[in-house]
Structures are given as C-alpha cells and as structure tokens.
C-alpha cells in the first residue's frame, strides 16, 4: 500500500501551546509520521484540514469558539479523507457518543501513554478504529441500552450553544458564524425549547455539563 512508503500526515489541535509542542516533539521521533499543521481552536482546525488534507487530526475536545466534537463533524465534511482521533479527559456518555456520531475514528483519554496515541494514529490512518478501554465500555453499553437519550441538537445548534456558554452575545455569535442576529436568536429559542431550559444561565450550565464549555479557562 501507499501508506508503507508515505508518512502519515498529522495535524494537532489543542488550545494549549505546550501540549501541541509536546505532541509534535514526541511524534517527530516516529519515522512514519509527519506533523503538517497545528490549530489552537476548533475553527482553525477545520480551516487547516480543508487546506492541507491531512491523513489524521488529533483533536482536543475542549477548545474555544468551536469544540472538538463539532470541529470533527466539520472536518469530516470539508476533508472526508481525514480521520479524527479525539483526546479527552472524559469517558462519559455525554462526551463519547457525540464524538463518534460526529465521525471520530479514535477516542483516547488524556491519561493514555504515547504508545497508545501512536497506535491510534496508525490504526485510524489505515481505516480502522481505536478506543481507550474506558471508551469502548461506553460504546458497548450504548449499543446494549435502549433507554432514553438526551435531546439531540443539530450541529449548528451545538455551535450556538457553545458560544452562548462562553458568554458571547447574539451579535457576537452572528459575526463568528456569519449569520444574522435574528437567526442566532431563533437557534437560541429552539435550543431552549428542546432542552426545556428557560434562561441563559441554564444554557451555560448545560453547556458546561456536556463538555461544550470548559471551566478551566
């Protein structure tokens, strides 16, 4: 296969510079891998993937403006040949299920070792999947479960919810998403109705709870 001679082209997406630098240094020691780009937020990750079409992007979940899950959805749309490995501190249903539905081929916990990350990158590059054991348990439980699931928001609604959770106003959100303020208000109203939440504070709490917004910023 072509993969045997060509290095795996990797993009690193994490809002912490020191994390990206550390991953770049570690992957540089792998003869079959080449880091071809870095992104500090989800929108930049989507843009870079659309430009350079990497084989794999290693995607942090908790990034500003656009989280890793929704960035994954857009990367898979803009660069269908790019495989996504999610890095997260969380292995609960609220984080794992949306990531897989968005198109992630791999999901690693941040406590995993370098060997696991390298194995994950190699696995998804050849079209396989790779999940941390804790994540695999969630997926198995999800398949076996037929209970009620949380209300499903559209990709655009999740983007708006994250930006609301980050404290941005409707005009600010409209500018970021290239929408009218009226359209943004419409999305907010539908989000509130679907989630049965009646104020912005409740939206913020929900966004934090499901991992769209990090509390460590």
Encode pLDDT of 67-122 as tens digits: 999 999 999 999 999 999 999 888 877 778 888 888 899 999 988 888 999 999 99
> What does the buried/exposed string (b/e) look like for 129-150 if buried means 16 or more CB atoms within 10 Å of the residue's CB?
bbbbebbeebbeeeeeeeeeee
Write down the residue that tokens 């999940």 correspond to.
131
Instruction: Answer with the residue of higher pLDDT: 85 or 215.
Output: 85
Angular region, 103: left φ>0, alpha ψ -120 to 50, beta rest? left
Please give the average per-residue pLDDT across 139-164, as a whole number.
70
pLDDT at 209 over 90: no
User: What's the rounded Cα separation, in Å, for the pair 31 and 95?
Assistant: 32
Write down the residue that tokens 């937020």 correspond to.
41
In whole numbers, what is the pLDDT of the chain averaged over residues? 86
Non-local (6+) Cβ contacts of 75 within 8 A are 45, 46, 49, 57, 59, 82, 84, 103
**Global pTM exceeds 0.85:** no
Q: Domains of the chain: which residue ranges? A: 2-144, 155-209
Q: Which CATH superfamily is domain 2-144 in?
A: Response regulator (3.40.50.2300)
- Classify domain 155-209 at the CATH class level: mainly alpha
Q: In what order do the strands lie in the sheet with 130-131?
A: 33-39, 8-13, 56-60, 83-88, 106-109, 130-131
């Amino acid at each position: 296969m072509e993969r045997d001679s060509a290095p795996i082209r990797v993009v690193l997406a994490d809002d912490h510079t020191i994390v990206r630098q550390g991953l770049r240094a570690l992957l540089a020691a792998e003869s079959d891998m080449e880091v071809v780009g870095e992104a500090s937020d989800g929108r930049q990750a989507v843009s870079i993937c659309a430009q350079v079409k990497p084989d794999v992007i290693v995607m942090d979940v908790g990034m500003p403006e656009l989280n890793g899950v929704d960035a994954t959805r857009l990367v898979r749309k803009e660069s269908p040949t790019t495989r996504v490995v999610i890095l997260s501190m969380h292995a609960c249903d609220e984080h794992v299920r949306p990531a897989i539905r968005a198109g992630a081929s791999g999901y690693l916990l941040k406590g995993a070792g370098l060997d696991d990350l390298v194995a994950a990158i190699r696995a998804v590059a050849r079209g396989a999947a790779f999940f941390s054991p804790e994540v695999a348990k969630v997926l198995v439980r999800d398949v076996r479960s037929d209970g009620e699931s949380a209300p499903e928001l559209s990709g655009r609604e999740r983007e708006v919810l994250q930006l609301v959770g980050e404290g941005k106003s409707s005009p600010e959100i409209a500018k970021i998403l290239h929408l009218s303020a009226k359209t943004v208000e419409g999305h907010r109203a539908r989000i509130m109705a679907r989630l049965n939440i009646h104020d912005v504070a409740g939206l913020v709490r929900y966004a934090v709870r499901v991992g769209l917004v990090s509390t460590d910023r």
